[in-house]
Amino acid sequence: MSWFTNDARTQEGALQSATDRSSDAEMRQRVAGVDVEVPVYDGPPSPYVNVDNAATTPPFNCVLDTVYAFRQYYSSVHRGTGFKSLLSTHAYEHSRQVMTGFVGADPSYHTVLFTCNATHALNKLARRLRLSPEDAVIITLMEHHSNILPWRQQGCRVLEAKVKGNDGTLDVGDLEDKLRRNAGRVKAVSVTGGSNVTGHMPPYRRIARMAHEHGAWFVLDGTQLAPHRPVRMGAPDDPERIDFFALSGHKMYAPFGCGLLVAPRKVFEDGPPDLVGGGTVHAVTSDRVVWHDLPEKEEPGTPNVVGAVALARAAREFQEIGLDNLVAHEQDLTRYCLKKLMAIDGLRIYGETDPELKRDRLGVFALEAKGFSHGLLAAILGYEWGIGVRNGCFCAQPYVRELLGVSSDEMNRVLDKLGAGDHTSVPGLVRVSLGMYNTRDEIDYLADALRSVLAHGPKARYVLHPVHKDYVPEGWHVDYDDYLPL
């Protein structure tokens, strides 16, 4: 029995293959919930248009099928002699093999650790590098908080490479300058593979080469990149290799609480793990501990077997689609969306806006609408049009502040208001983010909605929710238990 596929192609062949099965309709058939109708203000239920994929993606149908098939065999892994335990152990470790191949890791050099998500992975890595106050880590101003705060917690110097004000792209020259000025003290350069705000993809191979030339590790936060572009770790002696790689399953159509950290084995072999307990040891006495080998040493407690299986099945689905084919499909959607959004009067797009994509970028768009706060615009799209977007700073507050030109004094005033319970003045943007299953028709619908809102305003009167402080239509009420009773 296999819950992944019987496909015998090599990983390299799978990554480079392009099939004829990738029409919009077929892409949508792979994803759950794409035709669900939702309640809207002052009208009949409307098909939900989900353009909030940078936050989380819906599951692949094949992932749901795999999890459902696995349910009757699920058991505790490792050291069990019952059939269900043996089968669960096989499924868990086979999932690790699948993910090793998916990112092009070398089993003799790398360890592939299952984590809760990319945030967990980056925290684990930051603690393991055991940085001192004299050490420096270089990140960029466009990073997600999960690639900022773990480094700050270590007490080392955290240096932020600048972005260019006109389009929010990374200033690679400033990053290189910081490497040179801090020669011998930079222990790691940690960069996003793709911005969750503007869709900008830094030239991470070039940055990796620069980091290695200065004796630093290179870390890639692949949370936004992995669902959209192929990623290969590179050989251990490749000057453009990725040393550490993190991703989250819930952004890869496998939302079951599993992520990944890929790292050189030697970094994690010596010393105790960051979390200790069951599963991490060979033996414990009153005064001694013999730690387990990798990867078990770094995966304490009963692991998320279902999440690992789901992530591996999602990786197989990407291989079946063909990542080159997926890239071409999503680039087409990105070009189309840029053209439609740029034609709307009163709408501003932050980031790269070349609809011909002379420089590749992800299908993530940060928007500002004239006359509307980000919170109000997002609410109108959701309640009146059935369109799921996200608003705010997207856990990338330094980057959004830079894009918006918010000064430190302004931000301090906002923080004071936040402390007093006033959320209305928080700076932010509205984000549209595409997934493989979105269509041109959905983009047309989004553009029509934005054009209508900017021209005519909302249908409802919006008030702030007394608890959540978000905008809601006055008098709006939905019993969510009707949709999902627990």
pLDDT digit string, tens, across residues 415-474 = 887 777 777 778 999 999 999 999 999 999 999 999 999 999 999 999 998 888 899 999
**Domain limits for position 234:** 73-320
- In the prediction, which pLDDT does 26 show? 86
- The answer to whether residues 367 and 310 belong to one domain is no
Contact 356, 53 (CB under 8 A): no
Q: What is the mean pLDDT of the chain?
A: 93
- In the prediction, which pLDDT does 25 show? 84
54 φ, ψ to 5°? -70, -20
Q: HSE-up of 8 (CA within 13 Å, CB side)?
A: 0
In a domain, 363, yes or no: yes
Distance CA 394, CA 365 (A): 12
- The answer to whether residues 260 and 119 belong to one domain is yes
* pLDDT of 13 over the 80 cut: no
CATH number at residue 141: 3.40.640.10
280 φ, ψ to 5°? -95, -5
In a domain, 14, yes or no: no
Q: What would the mean pLDDT of 107-132 be, rounded to a whole number?
A: 98
Q: Taking the model in full, what pTM does it have?
A: 0.93
> 59-63, 96-100, 198-202, 409-413: which has the minimum mean pLDDT?
409-413
- In the prediction, which pLDDT does 9 show? 36
In a domain, 194, yes or no: yes
Question: Structurally, how many domains does the chain consist of?
Answer: 2
Peptide bond before 295: cis, by omega within 30 degrees of 0? yes
Residue 136: closest CA among 215, 222, 245: 215
Residue 104: closest CA among 268, 234, 263, 192: 234
- The answer to whether residues 267 and 225 belong to one domain is yes
CATH number at residue 371: 3.90.1150.10
Confidence of residue 411 (pLDDT cuts 50, 70, 90): confident
Boundary-marking domain end, from 320, 342, 362: 320
Under the phi-then-psi rule, with left for phi > 0, alpha for psi from -120 to 50, and beta for the rest, what region is 142? alpha
* pLDDT of 14 over the 60 cut: no
Boundary-marking domain end, from 269, 294, 320: 320
In a domain, 36, yes or no: yes
- The answer to whether residues 459 and 474 belong to one domain is yes
Say which amino acid occupies 89.
T
Share of the chain above pLDDT 90, in %: 87
In a domain, 17, yes or no: no
Residue 51: closest CA among 400, 443, 349: 443
- The answer to whether residues 251 and 294 belong to one domain is yes
Token readout for 104 is 């092009």
Strands (E), 342-444: 347-350, 364-369, 387-388, 390-392, 429-433
Say which amino acid occupies 314.
A
**Other beta carbons less than 10 A from residue 272's beta carbon:** 11
- The answer to whether residues 141 and 123 belong to one domain is yes
In a domain, 4, yes or no: no
- The answer to whether residues 327 and 462 belong to one domain is yes
Burial class (CB in 10 A: 0-12, 13-18, 19+), 169: buried
- The answer to whether residues 260 and 121 belong to one domain is yes
Q: What is the separation, in whole angstroms, between the first and last Cα of the chain?
A: 33
Beta partners for 47? 37
Say which amino acid occupies 216.
A
Distance CA 321, CA 15 (A): 9
- The answer to whether residues 30 and 102 belong to one domain is no
- Tokens 């869709």 correspond to 199
- The answer to whether residues 304 and 239 belong to one domain is yes
- In the prediction, which pLDDT does 7 show? 43
- The answer to whether residues 254 and 387 belong to one domain is no
In a domain, 369, yes or no: yes
- In the prediction, which pLDDT does 84 show? 97
Strand duo 259-264 + 244-248: pairing: antiparallel
Contact 336, 445 (CB under 8 A): no
Residue 113: closest CA among 5, 245, 271: 245
182: helix, strand or coil: coil
The pLDDT tens digits for 350-377 are 999 999 999 999 999 999 999 999 999 9
Boundary-marking domain end, from 271, 287, 320: 320
In a domain, 7, yes or no: no
Is 337 a residue of the active site?
Answer: no
The residue annotated as part of the active site, out of 62, 156, 258, 395, is: 395
401: helix, strand or coil: helix
Say which amino acid occupies 67.
V
- The answer to whether residues 388 and 262 belong to one domain is no
Structural element, H or E, at residue 79 = none
